[in-house]
Amino acid sequence: MVTYTRRELLGMVGAAGAALGAGRKQPNILYMMTDDHASHAISAYGSRINHTPHIDRIAEGGVRFTNCFCTNSICTPSRAAILTGQYSHRNGVYTLNDRLDPNRNHVAKELQKAGYQTAMIGKWHLASDPTGFDYWNILPGQGVYYDPVFIEGGTKKQYQGYCTDLIGDFTLDWLKRRDPNKPFFVMSHHKAPHRPWQPAPKYADLFRDQTIPEPDNLYDHYEGRARSVADVKMRVGENMNRTDLKTDIPPGLKGDALRKWAYQLYIKDYLRCIQSVDDNVGRMLDYLETERLASDTIVIYTSDQGFFLGDHGWFDKRVMYEEALRMPFLMRYPAAIRPKSLNGDIALNIDFAPTFLDYAGAKPPAEMQGRSFRANVEGHTPKDWRKAMYYRYWMHNDGDHHVPAHYGIRTERWKLIYYYGRPLGMRGANPPDTQPEWELFDMRNDPREMKNLYSDPRHASVVRDLKAQLEKLQKEVGDTPA
Ligand code: CA
């Protein structure tokens, strides 16, 4: 239960009233994004395993998306898609090894043109230096959790402290010294809760004496699934190292027993990292309130993709299964979005940029492939809104996680995935030892994606229809088949 202060409530009511009038001013945009934070570890999304009171404040005061999906579920490509509003095959950032061309247009450049001051703070991870930001202070590459180095406008400096808190500090510092006469767009990107899940010292003992509930498919043994899925090396315990677990695996421990033991170590550290994120989200919201900016500011909380929290026995992301595909997406803007609203439309990471430009009163450039969901969040979903989404993971068998390249389609009811197993000349490890394989899931009757229906003759017409839809969608977005 979230309670607003009197001042916050008055601010919201005032802004809602002002929204009815003409010429509303350009809203500020505070975009907070974490790295690998799955929505099922957010209490507003019904988490059974943790409580995130500050992230929940955004949901309480705004809209919660239940079907926001990532177009390529891995860090660097998703970040590029968010900035450019384009799929990987269009923006050229397919894998972790690709770099964002600094000359490429993106949302911050367009917002600058629209009169915004822009800042990028925290994890960037796009190999080139940021462009389109008046101020930037980023982690080199992945960055580290403890006493991290930051690169501020090109100058490296090491800081004492915990990465998540420092990113909070730097974001607040910038907000305090910004030009108050211009709207702001700040991207505050946390490293947490990315592997190796190292918590702040103050949370080292959180959950110590508790047993965190296990997901119902922690002991998935992949019967009936594609062979390449059964071979994925993202198994909790089995595919973790000493840095992940912070201790040695007891000799002789293996199979389901190893998974059970390692799950507790893994999930507790993951959730401890999130607790610091939640604290810092609270600091940002408090600042907006104290400065009377809450009503004029669009606040976003999201993550670059989802994550497997022991689901299917896995950690990590990449595979087009729900836990990795789904992004948490919470958006608060009291002037236009009703508190506690829900949106189930299929939204994509490439839609964020056009949406922000829409709110800024700027026209998204033609090369952006996403679509503004402003009308959707305001309760008026366009009749021709998409009914299916296209996904493609390109980083074929990186030699570590062993996830084959694949693409697929997700509709409200179905998901069809094609593991094509060929790297198409992309960089990364070769050579493919996987044969092309398909999976079909009934998302209504099997939301945990345990039963592959692809070879079931009763679903032959569904498969035929989905293949046709997939081919059409792939062509529409400008991609080519494997
Ligand atoms: Ca990530």
**CA atoms of 370 and 270, how far apart (whole Å):** 31
Output DSSP code: residue 201.
G
- Residue 104 CA to ligand 1 centre (angstroms): 22
What is the Å distance from ligand 1's center to 95 Cα?
12
pTM above 0.85, yes or no: yes
Which residues have a Cβ under 8 Å from the Cβ of 9 and sit 6 or more positions away?
A: none
Centre of ligand 1 from the C-alpha of residue 181, in Å: 34
The token pair at 336 is 């236009």
Q: Return the exposure string of 347-374: e unless at least 16 CB atoms fall within 10 Å of the residue's CB, then b.
A: bbbbbbbbbbbbbbebebbeebbbbbbb
Ligand 1 centre from 15 Cα, in Å? Answer: 35
CA distance 318 to 332: 29
Q: Can you say whether the dihedral through the CA atoms of 102, 356, 478, 68 is positive or negative?
A: positive
Distance from Cα 97 to the centre of ligand 1, integer Å = 14
CA of 318 to the centre of ligand 1 (A): 9
Which pLDDT value is given to residue 436?
A: 86
Distance CA 253, CA 251 (A): 6
Compute the distance from residue 399 Cα to the ligand 1 centre, in Å: 18
Gap between the Cα atoms of 117 and 308, Å rounded: 36
Q: In what order do the strands lie in the sheet with 341-343?
A: 155-158, 149-152, 135-139, 117-123, 184-189, 28-34, 297-303, 329-332, 63-65, 341-343
Whether the Cβ atoms of residue 94 and residue 74 lie closer than 8 Å to each other: no
CA of 357 to the centre of ligand 1 (A): 24
Q: How far is the CA of 19 from the centre of ligand 1 (A)?
A: 36
Which ranges of 143-254 would DSSP assign to H, the alpha helix? 163-177, 227-230, 242-245
Ligand 1 centroid – CA 105 distance (Å): 22
Task: Quote the CA–CA distance of 143 and 78 in Å, as a whole number.
Answer: 18
For residue 36, the CA-to-ligand 1 centroid distance in Å is: 4
SS3 state at 8: helix
Distance in Å, CA 455 to ligand 1 centroid: 33
- CA–CA gap between residue 26 and residue 230 (Å, rounded): 50
Distance 79 CA to ligand 1 centre (A): 9
- If you ran DSSP here, which 8-state letter would residue 424 be given? T
Ligand 1 centroid from CA 405, angstroms: 17
Which residue has tokens 């907070």? 32
171-27-31-407 Cα dihedral, nearest 10 degrees? -160
CA 401 to ligand 1 center in whole angstroms: 14
pLDDT tens over the chain, length 482 residues:
445 554 554 444 444 434 433 346 899 999 999 999 999 999 999 999 999 999 999 999 999 999 999 999 999 999 999 999 999 999 999 999 999 999 999 999 999 999 999 999 999 999 999 999 999 999 999 999 999 999 999 999 999 999 999 999 999 999 999 999 999 999 999 999 999 999 999 999 999 999 999 999 999 999 999 988 998 999 999 999 999 999 999 999 999 999 999 999 999 999 999 999 999 999 999 999 999 999 999 999 999 999 999 999 999 999 999 999 999 999 999 999 999 999 999 999 999 999 999 999 999 999 999 999 999 999 999 999 999 999 999 998 777 898 999 999 999 999 999 998 754 344 444 444 557 899 999 999 999 999 999 999 999 999 999 999 999 999 999 999 98
CB 81 within 8 A of CB 94: no
d(CA 73, CA 305): 6
Whether omega before 193 lies within 30 degrees of 0, making that bond cis, reads yes
Structural element, H or E, at residue 152: strand 149-152
**H or E stretch at 416:** strand 414-419
Q: 83 CA distance to ligand 1 centroid (A)?
A: 15
**Neighbour tally for 87: CB within 10 Å:** 25
**In terms of Cα–Cα distance, which of 427, 433, 437 is closest to 395?**
427
The DSSP secondary structure of 63-83, one letter per residue, reads: EEESSEE-SS-SHHHHHHHHH
The full set of domains in the chain, from first to last, is 6-18+25-200+263-385 (3.40.720.10), 390-476 (3.30.1120.10)
Block residue for tokens 């972790």: 96
Radius of gyration from C-alpha coordinates of the chain: 22
Are 156 and 139 in contact by the 8 Å Cβ rule? The answer is no
CA of 98 from ligand 1 middle (Å) equals 15
411 alpha carbon – ligand 1 mean position (Å)? 24
CA of 290 to the centre of ligand 1 (A): 32
Distance between Cα 302 and ligand 1 center (Å)? 11
- Distance from residue 37's CA to the centre of ligand 1 (Å): 8
Residues 279, 287 contacting (CB under 8 angstroms) = no
Q: How far is the CA of 271 from the centre of ligand 1 (A)?
A: 15
Q: Cβ(91)–Cβ(84) under 8 Å?
A: yes
> For residue 450, how far is its CA from the centre of ligand 1 (angstroms)?
24
Instruction: Output the CA 303–ligand 1 centroid distance in Å.
Output: 7
Q: How far is the CA of 70 from the centre of ligand 1 (A)?
A: 11
Residue 26 Cα to ligand 1 midpoint, Å, equals: 30
C-alpha of residue 195 to centroid of ligand 1, in Å: 9
Tell how far the Cα of 75 is from the centroid of ligand 1, in angstroms. Answer: 4
Burial of 64 (0-12, 13-18, 19+ CB in 10 A): buried
The pair of structure tokens assigned to 74 is 């891995």
Q: What spacing in Å lies between the alpha carbon of 305 and ligand 1's midpoint? A: 6
Query: How many other CB atoms are found less than 10 A from the CB of residue 144?
Result: 15
- Lookup: tokens for 78: 């998703």
